[in-house]
């Protein structure tokens, strides 16, 4: 049986067809414009696959937030208040349900990536996991007790308060909270603070010293509030590999021995990079499709 998957991103849409082992058989990328120009070629991709004999039984959509995940809501399946204005109040689930006539699973992009990692990645089988992405924005997917966390909406873990360090005069750039975690530590915040994009700052130790402190502060909050079995760090900023070691040692320093578990004694296995080589989101979408069926 085949399944469809869509990763809905701010710059590009990835569409794929795969099977229940997570194998991707066919995929395409569509640049993100307004819905009326972006969605039709995505639908065409799935229809052309059907014509080639690759019919999907269900579709999974992992989408940038905020989205409405409440199945009892009149706007379930909608993108809600996004800064990407053409997509405000867009019924993305409805659009694909109508065009393809299959069950559609729906969740946030970060929950999708988390689902990919716990289904087919090195975190397979874990039940309590945080997947944090640090890039253009900062967001987190969360699984607790084997279920993706939704609650009243879905987590927005990137906007928690961190303590700005004394030697950091950057005011932060979050339009809502100024110097929250995302406002201080996203890719654009790094670029604005230091005058260059993160990938041109590799040799500046002070950049990663500061960045790792803010990420470690957030990770400390996730550990204390969620008690996860593992924390996966992905996104463009985390491509700077030096961050992992710095974050691990700062988390240890900040927790200061308060949490005594086997996991805390092996932080190399506890705070880890994503394992699916950038495919965690689209593979998570496949799992959303399987679960929708």
What CA–CA distance (Å, rounded) separates 68 from 56?
Answer: 24
251-280 positions binding a second copy, by CB under 8 A = 254-261, 263
Judged by CB under 8 A, the residue of 226, 274, 289, 290 near a second copy is 226
Main-chain phi, psi angles of 143, to 5 degrees? -115, 130
Q: Which of residues 181-220 bind a second copy (CB under 8 A)?
A: 217, 220
Residues 119-138 that bind a second copy (CB under 8 A): 127-128
Options 46-54, 90-98, 152-160, 236-244: segment touching a second copy (CB under 8 A)? 152-160
Angle 205-226/187-194 helices, nearest 10 degrees? 150
Which of residues 28, 29, 153, 242 is near a second copy by CB under 8 A?
Answer: 153
Question: What is the distance between the alpha carbons of residues 226 and 240, in angstroms, rounded to a whole number?
Answer: 26
The number of residues that bind a second copy (CB under 8 A) is: 46
Q: Are 243 and 215 in contact (CB under 8 A)?
A: yes
Binding of a second copy at residue 173 (CB under 8 A)?
Answer: no
Residue 156 touches a second copy, criterion: CB under 8 A: yes
> Which of these ranges, 9-17, 28-36, 90-98, 141-149, lies near a second copy under the rule CB under 8 A?
141-149
Tell me which of 13, 67, 92, 142 binds a second copy, using CB under 8 A: 142
d(C-alpha 187, C-alpha 200), whole Å? 12
What would you report as the CA-atom Rg of the chain, rounded to the nearest whole angstrom?
A: 19
Query: CA 130 to CA 39: how far, in whole Å?
Result: 30
Q: Do the Cβ atoms of 255 and 220 come closer than 8 Å?
A: yes
* Stretch in the footprint of a second copy (CB under 8 A) among 26-34, 143-151, 244-252, 281-289: 143-151
Is residue 292 a contact partner of residue 28, using CB atoms and an 8 Å limit? no
Q: In the set 222, 267, 287, 290, which binds a second copy (CB under 8 A)? A: 222
Residue with Cβ nearer a second copy (48 or 127): 127
Q: Give the strand pairing for 24-31 and 12-18.
A: antiparallel
CB atoms within 10 A of CB 59: 28
**Where along the sequence are the contacts to a second copy (CB under 8 A)?**
66, 80-81, 127-128, 140, 142, 144-145, 147, 149-163, 176-177, 217, 220-222, 224-229, 254-261, 263
């Amino acid at each position: 049986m085949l399944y469809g998957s869509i990763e809905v991103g701010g710059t590009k849409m990835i569409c794929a067809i795969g099977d229940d082992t997570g194998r991707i058989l066919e995929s395409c990328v569509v640049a993100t414009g307004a819905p009326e120009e972006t969605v039709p070629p995505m639908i065409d991709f799935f229809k052309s696959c059907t014509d080639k004999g690759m019919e999907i039984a269900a579709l999974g959509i992992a989408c940038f937030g905020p989205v409405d995940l409440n199945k009892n809501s009149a706007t379930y399946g909608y993108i809600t208040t996004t800064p990407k204005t053409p997509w405000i109040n867009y019924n993305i689930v409805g659009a694909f349900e109508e065009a393809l006539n299959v069950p559609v699973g729906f969740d946030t992009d970060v929950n999708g990536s988390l689902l990919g990692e716990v289904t087919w990645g090195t975190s397979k089988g874990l039940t309590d996991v945080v997947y944090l992405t640090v890039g253009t924005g900062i967001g987190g997917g969360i699984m607790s007790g084997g279920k993706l966390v939704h609650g009243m909406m879905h987590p927005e873990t990137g906007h928690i308060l961190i303590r700005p360090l004394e030697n950091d005069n950057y005011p932060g750039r979050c339009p809502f909270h100024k110097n929250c975690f995302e406002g201080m530590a996203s890719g654009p915040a790094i670029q604005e603070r230091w005058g260059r994009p993160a990938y041109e700052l590799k040799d500046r130790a002070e950049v990663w010293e500061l960045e790792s402190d803010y990420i470690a502060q957030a990770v400390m909050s996730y550990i204390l509030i969620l008690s996860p079995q593992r924390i996966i760090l992905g996104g463009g900023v985390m491509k700077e590999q030096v961050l992992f070691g710095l974050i691990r040692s700062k988390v240890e320093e900040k927790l200061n021995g308060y949490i005594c578990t086997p996991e805390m004694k092996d932080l190399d296995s506890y705070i880890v990079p994503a394992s699916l080589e950038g495919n965690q989101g689209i593979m998570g979408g496949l799992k959303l499709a399987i679960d929708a069926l």
